[in-house]
Structure 1
Amino acid sequence: MIATAVAVPVVVALLVVVNVFGPGSEDTSGDDGGAVAEVDGQPVSPRDESPVEVDTPPITPEADAACPALMSQLPLEIAGETSRRVDSDSPYAYAWGDPAQVLVCGADVPAGFVVGGPQALGINGVTWFVDTTDPTVNVWTTVDRTVPVQISIPASTDGSVAIALSPVIAGAIPFTEPQPGG
């Protein structure tokens, strides 16, 4: 009994020392202690954790009425991208990933939107207008919701975030007939 009472704390102490300092106390590798994450043997660069600067339109009474329902349902991770902090004048902005994919609830319908035009896509109960005029970013805007929702997606990525969010938007923001932008 006494041997067990002595052996258990000694084993626990050894486990702590090995886990904290490693199996050997000497470090001859020349490593300064900075760890680099690896995936499948390849080094992974650190993710940008700085807040995403988001320009937003003025908040309207319609946005104040509709956007909180959407914002409360947005996932922390979507399409393999985790959420990021946002620096914005509006509480109705959200971002995922690096490079950031940014959602703004309460956006304006784009001036180039034409009802039934070729850039309108129906996805999972939501009609989107996709503006591809900027070579660096594709801007997806809902055109059949009482309050438009806009997602800016880097042109180097696909629209999986907008596709995955379509059912969430359809459930949170009421439908309205699309109107031309302007």
Structure 2
Amino acid sequence: MFEPPYARPVKRYAPPVLLRTAAGLVLAAAAACSSSAEVEPPKPAGAAASACEALAEALPKSADGQQRRDAEPESDYTAAWGDPAIALRCGVPRPKVLTPGTAHYNPTAESVEVNGVQWLLEQQDDGYLFTALKRKAFVEVRVPSKYAPEVDPLTDLAGAVKKAVPKTGA
């Protein structure tokens, strides 16, 4: 019986050099993904520190499709996803744009609500800095422009913030 050529399985072999090169690339990519991101830990105290410790337990394994990775130095107050890192810091000081008497004070600064969490947004040289407002601890998330629209990671992080960092009256 005649079989057309497209019906027969075709065996293809890669030369050993290509296999070694491909294996090397996979290992290099894995090493790059496993490297840690430098994220300076803040120094919260009291209720803010407790809320940040609870947030560390509630954070998701991925944000905007990016897998969580180690933040350096290791801290309960920081987290990172992807490369370049989407970086979270919990327990940061009140943003200067919201602090009366500072040179950057702006009582009409832009904010956005994402999944029940109000976020101050500040454009940076390469992306945005978002800070969760009206919570026992200020939580900031720095999102590089690579992840435009930069607000997207907040959809994955807002639930953890809402759950772990209680609202304040103001």
What's the TM-score once normalised by structure 1's chain length? 0.70
Separation in 1, partners of 2:168, 2:68: 29
Separation in 2, partners of 1:153, 1:28: 42
The share of aligned pairs that are identical, in percent, is 26
**1:33 to 2:23 alignment:** no
Task: Kindly report which structure 2 residues correspond to 1:140-151, keeping only aligned pairs within 5 A, or say none.
Answer: 140-151=130-141
Task: Specify the alignment match of 1:160 in structure 2.
Answer: 152
Tell me which amino acid in the other structure corresponds to 1:87: E
Tell me which amino acid in the other structure corresponds to 2:163: G
Q: Secondary structure at the match of 1:156?
A: helix
Q: Cα distance, 1:153 vs. partner? A: 0.5
Structure with bigger RCO (C-alpha 8 Å, 6+ apart): 2
**1:97 to 2:82 alignment:** yes
Higher Cα radius of gyration: 1
Tell me which amino acid in the other structure corresponds to 1:149: V
Separation in 1, partners of 2:163, 2:106: 22
Task: Specify the alignment match of 2:116 in structure 1.
Answer: 125
**1:112 to 2:97 alignment:** yes
Question: Contact 1:109 / 1:143 at 8 angstroms: preserved in 2?
Answer: no
Question: Which range moves more in the overlay, 155-164 or 104-113?
Answer: 155-164
CA 124–35 in structure 1, closer or farther in 2 if over 3 Å, else same: same
Q: Secondary structure at the match of 2:95?
A: coil
How many residues align? The count is: 148
Q: Cα distance, 1:82 vs. partner? A: 0.2
Task: Specify the alignment match of 1:20 in structure 2.
Answer: none
CA 172–35 in structure 1, closer or farther in 2 if over 3 Å, else same: same
What's the TM-score once normalised by structure 2's chain length? 0.74
The RMSD of aligned alpha carbons is 2.9
Q: Cα distance, 1:177 vs. partner? A: 3.7
Provide runs of 4+ in structure 1 moved above 6 Å.
none
The structure where helix makes up a greater share of residues is 2
Q: In the TM superposition, what whole-angstrom CA distance separates every residue of 1:64-90 from its partner, at most 9, and x where no partner exists?
A: 221121111111123211011111263
Separation in 1, partners of 2:128, 2:22: 36
Residue of structure 2 aligned with 1:74, choices 59, 71, 74: 59
Separation in 2, partners of 1:170, 1:116: 24
